[in-house]
C-alpha cells in the first residue's frame, strides 16, 4: 500500500491506467492468485442493517415509499442497538461455515454505520454512537473471517447526488455530480485506510444514469491505488446485465467478478461470480419474514458452487442489534452440514457436469463430487467421463456402486443410503478432473427448451420471461408483476407427446389454487387440480397426450414465480 507521502504520485499513475482501460483492462484486475483465494472460500455472510430496521421495511427503497422521507431520515436519532455484539455476529458466520463477511457501510439512503468525517449522517450521531465498522473489522480479524464492505454508489439523501427517493425516481434541484464523486472517493478511501485492508469492496447502485463508465473505471483505479490487493465487484462500472449479474464488454468495464442477485448464477468458468441472496425475502430485517428451508439453503449453496460461483448469503439484523435467533439457527444448521461435507465445497471448482435442477458437481484434484439433489429411480446415468474412475465412496454415508462404460457413468445408491437434501458421491479419477471440458446434462423434461408464453412477465423483462421456467436452470425463473393474483404459463411441445408426471419448483410459495390444462382444438381441458405448489411439487397422473399445456394459477398471495416447470414421461 502506498504511504501518504507518495500516494498522490501513485494515484496519478493509476488514474492514467484507468483512462486506457479499454486498451489494457487487465492491468489493474485482481490477480489469478487473489481471485482463487477468494473463490476457495465459497461462502460469505452479507449483512444489510441500519436505522430502517426500526420500521421493518426495506433499506433505502422504503425511503419516500412505505416510510415518509422526513420520518426515514430521522430514524437514526432513535437507533440504539444496545444488544449489538460484533464478536457474536462473527461467531455466527464462523459457525455457519462462512469464510468472509460483507457489511453495508452505506446503502442508497446515505446513512453511514461508521463515524465518517465527511458527513453528519452517521452512527456517531445516533444514541448508539459506537463505531460498527471498527468493532466488526476487529472481530473478523480476531476470528479469522475476511472483512469486507458494501458501499452504495447512489445516495438518494445527499444533496449533490442528482436523484432522490423514492427509488431514485425524483430529481434534486441543485445537484453537483463531480462534487458528489469526490465525496464518494473520500468515503471509500476513509473505509480502506481506517478499517482495511479489506477483502472486497462490494459496490451497488451503478445502474442510475448519473453514474458513468468513466466514473466507475476511475473509482476502481483510485481504490486499487490505495489497496492493490482489493477485489472489487462488477457493479463499480456499467457492464452489469440486470439481476443476472453477468458483465457485458468486460474489456471496457472495470470489475473483478460478476454478481447475480437473488438467483443462482448460470454455469460459468471463464469469469468469477458470486450469487448474493437473502435468507428470507427482504434484505433488511422484517418481522415474520418468510425464511428459506434448510433444504433450500443448502441446495442453493451446492448449485452455486457447482456452477463455479460463491454464495454471499444475507441476513438483516433486528433493531436491537441481534441477528434474529431463527436465522442464527438456520445458519448453524448449514455449518453443521459443512463440517461434515465441506470437502465437496471448499477449495473446489464447478464441474465437470453442468448444474441442473437435480444434479450438481464439484471437483478438486483427481476427485469429482457428484451432488444428487433429487432422486428418480435407483440409478443416476451421467454422460461418460474421458478419465477412468478408480474409486467411489458415498461421502454422506452408506453404500454406492458405480459402473463406467464408454457411454455413461451409472451411479446406484439404495434408498436407505440416499439423503433428502444432497447425496454426495465421490469419484476418484486416474487424472486431474480440471482437464475435463464441462459436460451438459440432458434434461428429462419434455418441456425443456420448448416455446413458452405467459399471461404476465415481471416488468416485461426478458430475464424473467416464461422461457426461464423451461430452461432446466435452477438459477432462472419466470416471474410476474407484484400484486398479480392470477397468471398462466403455456408451453408448446412442438408435436403431440405423452406424459404422466409434472414437477414444479415455485419460489416463495405464493400459489393457493392451480390447474394443469391441455389444449383440445380451441378448448382447454383440465387434467390436474391442486392448491399449494411450493419448492418441490411433483405429481403423477394418467397418461396425457397433448401438444400445448398450460399451468394456470387461479389464486396466489402475490405475483407467482416459477423456477422450473417440467413435464415427464415416467415409467409406471
Residue 507's pLDDT is 85
Q: How many residues does the chain have?
A: 572
Residue 26 pLDDT level (bands cut at 50, 70, 90): low
- Which residues, at least 6 apart from 211, have a Cβ–Cβ distance to it below 8 Å? 153, 154, 205, 238
Per-residue pLDDT for 554 more than 80?
yes
Cell 471448499 appears where?
346
Q: Is the model more confident about 21 or about 326? A: 326
pLDDT for position 198: 98
Statement: residue 201 has pLDDT above 80: yes
Cis peptide before 320 (omega within 30 of 0): no
pLDDT at 337 over 70: yes
Summarize pLDDT for 65-97 with one digit per residue, the tens: 999 999 999 999 999 999 999 999 999 999 999
Of 8-17, 126-135, 395-404, 410-419, minimum mean pLDDT range = 8-17
Helix ranges restricted to H, 342-471: none
Q: Taking 60 as the threshold, does the pLDDT of residue 6 lie above it?
A: no
| Whether the predicted pLDDT of 38 surpasses 70 | yes
Tell the residue number behind the cell numbers 441472496, with chain if given: 277
In the three-class reduction of DSSP (H, G, I as helix; E, B as strand; rest coil), residue 58 is classed as coil
Residue 20: per-residue pLDDT:
41
Pairing of strands 163-164, 379-383: unpaired
CA distance 98 to 37: 14
Q: Is pLDDT above 60 for 2?
A: no
Cell of 231: 477485489
3-class secondary structure per residue, 80-116: CCCCCCHHHHHHHHHHCCCCEEEEEEECCCCCECCCC
Give the separation between CA 509 and CA 500, rounded to whole angstroms.
24
What is the pLDDT at residue 9?
Answer: 38
d(CA 363, CA 126): 49
| Owner of C-alpha cell 439481476 | 243
**Phi, psi of 72, rounded to the nearest 5 degrees:** -55, -45
Banded model confidence at residue 257, pLDDT cuts 50, 70, 90? very high
DSSP result, 150-204: EEES--SSSTTSSEETTTT-EE-SS--HHHHHHHHHHHHHHHHHHH-S-SEEEEE
CB-based contact 367:426 (threshold 8 Å): yes
User: Buried b / exposed e across 17-56, counting CB within 10 Å, b at 16+?
Assistant: bbeebeeebeebbbeeebbebbbebbbbbbbbbbbbbbbb
What DSSP character marks residue 142? H
Rounded to an integer, what distance in angstroms lies between the CA atom of residue 60 and that of residue 51?
Answer: 10
- Sheet containing strand 43-47, edge to edge, reads 231-232, 200-204, 146-152, 100-106, 43-47, 310-315, 274-278
Tally the C-alpha atoms within 13 A of residue 515's C-alpha that lie toward its C-beta.
9
> CA 559, CA 93: separation in Å to the nearest integer?
33
Provide the strand spans (E) within 400-483.
401-404, 408-412, 423-429, 451-454, 478-479
From CA 359, how far away is CA 383, in angstroms rounded? 12
Q: Counting Cβ atoms within 10 Å, is residue 13 exposed (0-12), middle (13-18) or buried (19+)?
A: exposed
For all residues of the chain together, what is the average pLDDT?
93
Q: What predicted TM-score, i.e. pTM, was given to this entire model?
A: 0.86
Please give the grid coordinates belonging to residue 168: 431514485
The backbone region for 217, taken as left when phi is positive above 0, alpha when psi lies in -120 to 50, beta otherwise, is alpha
CA 449-303-530 angle, to 5 degrees, is 60
Quick: pLDDT tens for 481-501.
Answer: 999 999 999 999 999 999 999
The tens digit of pLDDT for each residue in 310-321 reads 999 999 999 999
What's the mean pLDDT in 214-218? 97
∠ CA(53), CA(191), CA(45), 5° rounding? 50
Q: What is the pLDDT of residues 127-141, one digit of tens each?
A: 999 999 999 999 999
Cis peptide before 352 (omega within 30 of 0): yes
Q: What is the pLDDT of residue 173?
A: 95
Range of lowest pLDDT (295-309, 357-371, 463-477, 508-522): 463-477
> What angle do the packed helices 4-19 and 213-226 form, to 10 degrees?
150
Half-sphere exposure of 252 (CA within 13 A, CB side): 9
Classify burial at 87, counting beta carbons within 10 Å of its beta carbon; exposed 0-12, middle 13-18, buried 19 or more.
middle
Residue with the larger pLDDT of the pair 342 and 14: 342
Q: Which three cell numbers stand for residue 420?
A: 433428502
Answer yes or no: are the C-beta atoms of 508 and 480 closer than 8 Å: no
Rg of the chain over CA atoms, in angstroms? 25
Rounded CA gap, 313 and 300, in Å?
Answer: 10
More confident residue, 544 or 463: 544
Coil, strand, or helix at residue 242? helix
Across-strand partners of 152?
Answer: 204
Average pLDDT over residues 333-346: 98
Amino acid at each position: 500500500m502506498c504511504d501518504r507521502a507518495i500516494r498522490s504520485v501513485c494515484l496519478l499513475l493509476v488514474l492514467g491506467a484507468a483512462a486506457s482501460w479499454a486498451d489494457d483492462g487487465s492491468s489493474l484486475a485482481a490477480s489469478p492468485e487473489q481471485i482463487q483465494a477468494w473463490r476457495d472460500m465459497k461462502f460469505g455472510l452479507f449483512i444489510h442493517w441500519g436505522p430502517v430496521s426500526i420500521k421493518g421495511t426495506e433499506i433505502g427503497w422504503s425511503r419516500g415509499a412505505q416510510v415518509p422521507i422526513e420520518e426515514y431520515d430521522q430514524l437514526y436519532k432513535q437507533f440504539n442497538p444496545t444488544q449489538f455484539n460484533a464478536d457474536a455476529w462473527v461467531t455466527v458466520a464462523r459457525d455457519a461455515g462462512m469464510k468472509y463477511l460483507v457489511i453495508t457501510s452505506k446503502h442508497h439512503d446515505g446513512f453511514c454505520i461508521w463515524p465518517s468525517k465527511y458527513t453528519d449522517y452517521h452512527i456517531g450521531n445516533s444514541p448508539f454512537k459506537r463505531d460498527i465498522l471498527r468493532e466488526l473489522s476487529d472481530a473478523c480479524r480476531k476470528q479469522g473471517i475476511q472483512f469486507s464492505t458494501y458501499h452504495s454508489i447512489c445516495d438518494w439523501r445527499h444533496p449533490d447526488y442528482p436523484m432522490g427517493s423514492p427509488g431514485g425516481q425524483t430529481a434534486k434541484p441543485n445537484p453537483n455530480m463531480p462534487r458528489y464523486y469526490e465525496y464518494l472517493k473520500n468515503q471509500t478511501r476513509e473505509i480502506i485506510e481506517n478499517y482495511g485492508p479489506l477483502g472486497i469492496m462490494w459496490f451497488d447502485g451503478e445502474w442510475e444514469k448519473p453514474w458513468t463508465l468513466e466514473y466507475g473505471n476511475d473509482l476502481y483505479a483510485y481504490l486499487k491505488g490505495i489497496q492493490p490487493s482489493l477485489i472489487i465487484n462488477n457493479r463499480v462500472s456499467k457492464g452489469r446485465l440486470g439481476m443476472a449479474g453477468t458483465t457485458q464488454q468486460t474489456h471496457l468495464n472495470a470489475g473483478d467478478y460478476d454478481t447475480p442477485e437473488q438467483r443462482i448464477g448460470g454455469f460459468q468458468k471463464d469469469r468469477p461470480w458470486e450469487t448474493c441472496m437473502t435468507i428470507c425475502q427482504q434484505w433488511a430485517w422484517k418481522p415474520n419474514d418468510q425464511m428459506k428451508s434448510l433444504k433450500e439453503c443448502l441446495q442453493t449453496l451446492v448449485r452455486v458452487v457447482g456452477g463455479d460461483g460463491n454464495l454471499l448469503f444475507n441476513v438483516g439484523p433486528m433493531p436491537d442489534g441481534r441477528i434474529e435467533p431463527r436465522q442464527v439457527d438456520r445458519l448453524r444448521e448449514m455449518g453443521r452440514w459443512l463440517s461434515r461435507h465441506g470437502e465437496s465445497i471448499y477449495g473446489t471448482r464447478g464441474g465437470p457436469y453442468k448444474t441442473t435442477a437435480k444434479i450438481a458437481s464439484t471437483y478438486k484434484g483427481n476427485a469429482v463430487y457428484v451432488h444428487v439433489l433429487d432422486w428418480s429411480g435407483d440409478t443416476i446415468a451421467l454422460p461418460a467421463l474421458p478419465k477412468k474412475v478408480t474409486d467411489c465412496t458415498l461421502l454422506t454415508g452408506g453404500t454406492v456402486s458405480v459402473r463406467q462404460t464408454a457411454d455413461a457413468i451409472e451411479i446406484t445408491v439404495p434408498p436407505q443410503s440416499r439423503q433428502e437434501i444432497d447425496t454426495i458421491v465421490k469419484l476418484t479419477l486416474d487424472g486431474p478432473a480440471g482437464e475435463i471440458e464441462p459436460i451438459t446434462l440432458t434434461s428429462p423434461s419434455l418441456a425443456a427448451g420448448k416455446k413458452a408464453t405467459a399471461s404476465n412477465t415481471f416488468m416485461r423483462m426478458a430475464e424473467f420471461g416464461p422461457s426461464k421456467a423451461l430452461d432446466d436452470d435452477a438459477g432462472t425463473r419466470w416471474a410476474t408483476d407484484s400484486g398479480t393474483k392470477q397468471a398462466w404459463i403455456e408451453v408448446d411441445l412442438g408435436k403431440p407427446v405423452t406424459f404422466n408426471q409434472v414437477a414444479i419448483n415455485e419460489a416463495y410459495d405464493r400459489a393457493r389454487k392451480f390447474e394443469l390444462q391441455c389444449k383440445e382444438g380451441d378448448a382447454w381441458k383440465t387434467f390436474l387440480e391442486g392448491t399449494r405448489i411450493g419448492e418441490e411439487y411433483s405429481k403423477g397422473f394418467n397418461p396425457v397426450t397433448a401438444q400445448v399445456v398450460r399451468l394456470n394459477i387461479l389464486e396466489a398471495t402475490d405475483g407467482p414465480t416459477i423456477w422450473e416447470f417440467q413435464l415427464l414421461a415416467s415409467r409406471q
